[in-house]
């Protein structure tokens, strides 16, 4: 079924979004752009002031423009009492960072749910768990509402699980053109309220934002309605499966290096099988970010609570950790001792088009280089200001440009596949290096600079010298 060409009138709902991180911010701005009246709530007053000025506390392509275009339907506050009573739908989008045990920390969910409960007003109000939470959290939030609402009545305050499936760097695109929308609840009224809220997405009746057109051949998203626990499990299972695909590609990449095969050719070949697909088969330094590590750990922990082992997921985590050590091993293969060596690291964010540093492989790389006595210079197009706060425990020099980072370096490690690094004039940049050694952990380079040695993942080490026909054949 194709998106409808003629817009249908959608009733505007009043929405409150608790939490203005990556998920909450994107949810609030997206819903306002669809015509709903949205109030964003956060206890961080600095964030609230930034948002009132039309500034984003995070980097996400396209989001700042949409924020400004939707300002008349957006309001920001730190006061629950001014936002919750009038809301038809209330999203909880707070963080659930992992505890040392691997369990998600639900403290912020509990605090948000209690604050919401104390300000409910007696009409039908739908409380939506958007945060990634363990199976059973929806029922737990229902009990919190029952215990803390001033005039609780069953059926008036209902909980719906509505997990997000956004990729940082393309979050706005994923929000507007989703594959599916999952709603989990035992309340038909709650499901219907959310269906009404998402009608412009389900029917694709909205006008696409400038610069983010509806994809060609895009079909309408599927509305998946389930129980609360099934919706919560869908989120974890989806992320775990994607993590498995990445770890599988990395494990095959290691074997490719042993047998002189090329991982790029191998993954292209297997990805042509429609049962497998090409996405999430890129070998590299391993997955990072806020989801895969946390969600796989949470699933493993949930299994252990029931005496149920999950060896496949544990193996995926082990492979991912091995990839991070592999980066330094490749460097040591050429430089041997790293004490006193100067190493440039290009890319700090865990993926391009975001400034998110959570579980970024670059962090572990820089920390290990420090331990081994190397002098580290870093560059990232977006994430360096964020890293000054989040990575204050690491010691490194910042470079204003990628070219500046390479000057005098004994090696460069390419950790994040920013387009800026793809477009870099590598022939010119490596001329200022002390030794032309490139560790390309994302297999970005397709044309290698002359007189250089390049280590990639799942590919043979390449030594580029004039007249090297073997190199040209390897890159073909």
Q: Which of 93, 256, 272, 291 is catalytic?
A: 291
Q: Which two tokens stand for residue 221?
A: 């998203």
CA distances, 105 to each of 98, 109, 141, 341 (Å): 6, 8, 14, 40
DSSP run (H or E) holding 180: strand 180-184
Catalytic: 291? yes
Nearby residues of 32 by Cβ (< 8 Å), 6 or more positions away: 38, 70, 73, 74
- Contact indicator for 174, 238 with CB cutoff of 8 Å: no
The Cα–Cα gap between 178 and 172 comes to: 10
First to last CA, the chain: 40
The Cα–Cα gap between 100 and 112 comes to: 22
Three-state DSSP class for residue 159: strand
DSSP run (H or E) holding 376: strand 375-379
The Cα–Cα gap between 176 and 206 comes to: 9
H-only helix segments in 118-203: 137-148, 171-176, 188-197, 199-203
Look at the alpha carbons of 126, 61, 440, 370 in this order and tell me if their dihedral is positive or negative.
negative
State the virtual CA torsion across 406, 412, 413, 419 in degrees, nearest 10: 40
- Contact indicator for 203, 4 with CB cutoff of 8 Å: yes
Return the bridge partners of 346, or none: 379, 414
What's phi and psi for 381, nearest 5 deg? Answer: -60, -25
- Cβ atoms < 10 Å from Cβ of 465: 10
Output DSSP code: residue 71: G
Angle at the Cα of 180 from the Cα atoms of 176 and 182, rounded to 5 degrees: 110
Nearby residues of 187 by Cβ (< 8 Å), 6 or more positions away: 126, 155, 158, 159, 160
Q: Which two tokens stand for residue 436?
A: 């032309």
Q: Which two tokens stand for residue 281?
A: 């088969």
Output DSSP code: residue 81: G
Burial 113-125 (b: 16+ CB within 10 A, else e): bbbbbebbeeeeb
Residues belonging to the active site = 291
């Amino acid at each position: 079924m194709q998106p409808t060409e003629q817009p249908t009138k959608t009733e505007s709902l009043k929405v409150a979004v608790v939490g203005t991180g990556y998920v909450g911010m994107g949810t609030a701005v997206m819903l306002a752009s669809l015509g709903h009246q949205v109030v964003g709530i956060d206890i961080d007053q600095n964030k609230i002031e930034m948002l009132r000025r039309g500034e984003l506390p995070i980097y996400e392509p396209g989001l700042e423009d949409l924020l400004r275009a939707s300002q008349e339907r957006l309001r920001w506050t730190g006061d629950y009492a001014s936002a919750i009573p009038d809301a038809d739908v209330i999203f909880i989008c707070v963080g659930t960072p992992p505890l040392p045990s691997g369990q998600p920390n639900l403290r912020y969910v509990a605090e948000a749910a209690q604050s919401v409960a104390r300000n409910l007003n007696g009409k039908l109000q739908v409380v939506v768990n958007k945060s990634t939470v363990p199976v059973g959290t929806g029922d737990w939030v229902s009990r919190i509402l029952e215990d803390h609402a001033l005039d609780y009545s069953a059926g008036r305050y209902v909980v719906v699980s509505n997990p997000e499936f956004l990729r940082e760097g393309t979050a706005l695109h994923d929000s507007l053109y989703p594959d599916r929308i999952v709603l989990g609840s035992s309340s038909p009224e709650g499901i219907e309220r959310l269906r009404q809220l998402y009608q412009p997405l389900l029917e694709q009746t909205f006008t696409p934002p400038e610069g983010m057109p509806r994809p060609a051949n895009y079909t309408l998203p599927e509305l998946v309605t389930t129980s609360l626990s099934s919706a919560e499990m869908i989120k974890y299972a989806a992320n775990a499966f994607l993590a498995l695909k990445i770890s599988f590609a990395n494990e095959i990449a290691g074997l490719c290096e042993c047998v002189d095969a090329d991982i790029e050719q191998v993954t292209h070949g297997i990805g042509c099988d429609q049962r497998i697909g090409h996405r999430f088969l890129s070998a590299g330094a391993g997955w990072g970010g806020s989801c895969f590590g946390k969600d796989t750990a949470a699933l493993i922990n949930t299994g252990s609570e029931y005496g149920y082992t999950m060896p496949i997921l544990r193996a995926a985590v082990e492979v991912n950790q091995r990839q991070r050590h592999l980066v330094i091993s490749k460097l040591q293969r050429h430089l041997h001792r790293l004490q006193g060596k100067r190493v440039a690291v290009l890319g700090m964010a865990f993926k391009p088009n975001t400034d998110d540093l959570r579980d970024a492989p670059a962090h572990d790389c820089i920390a290990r280089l420090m331990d081994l006595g190397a002098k580290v210079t870093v560059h990232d197009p977006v994430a360096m200001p964020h890293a000054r706060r989040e990575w204050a425990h690491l010691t490194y020099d910042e470079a204003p440009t990628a070219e500046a980072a390479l000057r005098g370096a004994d090696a460069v490690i390419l950790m994040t596949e920013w387009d800026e690094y793809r477009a870099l004039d590598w022939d010119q940049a490596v001329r200022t290096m002390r030794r032309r050694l490139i560790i390309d952990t994302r297999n970005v380079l397709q044309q290698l600079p002359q007189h250089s040695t390049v280590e990639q993942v799942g590919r043979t080490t390449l030594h580029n010298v004039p007249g090297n026909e073997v190199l040209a054949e390897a890159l073909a």
